[in-house]
Each structure stands twice: as structure tokens, then as C-alpha cells.
A and B are shown apart, each in its own frame.
Chain A
Amino acid sequence: AQSVTQLGSHVSVSEGALVLLRCNYSSSVPPYLFWYVQYPNQGLQLLLKYTTGATLVKGINGFEAEFKKSETSFHLTKPSAHMSDAAEYFCAVSDSGANSKLTFGKGITLSVRP
């Protein structure tokens, strides 16, 4: 069985500050890992994914994440927060490929202060 842990439910940063959203996973097989963003009253939008290969993954809107097998982590970062980054962020894991069933974490709400 797979699981995802996103510690904390809310992160607040100042505009221009580093964004760090943590994600730890559990999987019995090499995982496929994802970060999704959800704006109010909208569906989930894929930010980035790790399948195989390079462990540092770059996504849309300046976000990136690093797969660390030894730490079972896939933390999301962005060097400089923008007001438009305020949203809910979900980490997810799949053990069967990028088009297979996903197990999501509970999500983290990111607030950006002016």
C-alpha cells in the first residue's frame, strides 16, 4: 500500500521568499511522484512529476522538486514566491505509472503575504 504525508496544513510566506512544501511517501515499489495545484473551485493542475531518470524535476510556474529515495521525500520548492502562487498543493504517488491510480496527501494551503 502506498501513502503520502504532507506535514502541516498551512504554510505562509512573504512575496519573494523561498517556498518549501514537504512531502514524504511510502511505496513498496519504485514510485511515480506528482505535485498538483488546486485553485479555489477548480480542478487539479499538474505542476510536475517524477517517473524515472533525473531526480531534480522542473515544473511549471518556476516550481521544482527533488526525488530523494534515501529520505523517501519529494519536497516542492520555488525560489521566489508570487502572490499568484497562493493555492492548495497536493503531493501524490503512484506505483504503476503516470496514468494510473494516484494516492494523494491531505494537501497544504500556501498563503503569500505582500
Chain B
Amino acid sequence: GENVEQHPSTLSVQEGDSAVIKCTYSDSASNYFPWYKQELGKRPQLIIDIRSNVGEKKDQRIAVTLNKTAKHFSLHITETQPEDSAVYFCAASSPGGYQKVTFGTGTKLQVIP
């Protein structure tokens, strides 16, 4: 089955700096890569996603890149703000009878004011 590894497990950055979280996946059939943000005590919520036919996608201060050959994808947050502090999960989804989604183990991002 699919295996998703995520690094680092914790990340501290100064406000205004950039943050990068990296994930690798094992199943070459995976074609959808969502990123979820989970604030303390809250539910995970989708912040950005990318499909396998696209190499990069941006949404304001957030961007995701995908390298299908190397089977890795990354989340980039620029100009970090204290409200970006949360746990971020990457995930990989492969086509099939249902949307089997495998999550990474999460990265706890702390933005220091």
C-alpha cells in the first residue's frame, strides 16, 4: 500500500520567514496530493491540493510543488504569520473504487512573533 513520509516533524520559524514541509510517497499511481491544516483542538481542513498533471500550484502565500519522478511534494509558506502556527498534514490519494487517502505523520509549525 501507499506510504507517505513527512519531514520535519516540528518546525520553528520567525514571523515573516518562509517555511517548507516535504513529503515523499511510494505508490506511483497516486494522482492527488492534498495538504491539510489542523489548528490545536480543531478538525483538519484542506488548504491546498495538487493533481499529478500539475507541477506547481499557488494560492496567495501558500504554494505546493510536485515532482512525480522523484515521488515527492512540498508545501511552501511565505511571509509566515502567527496564525500559520498549526499542524500540517500532507496526503496522497490513488485512484480506485474509493478515494483512499494516506496521510503523513504531520509537521507542527510554530511561527515566533
Co-complex (A, B) = no
**Residues of A bordering B, CB below 8 Å:** none
**Residues of B bordering A, CB below 8 Å:** none
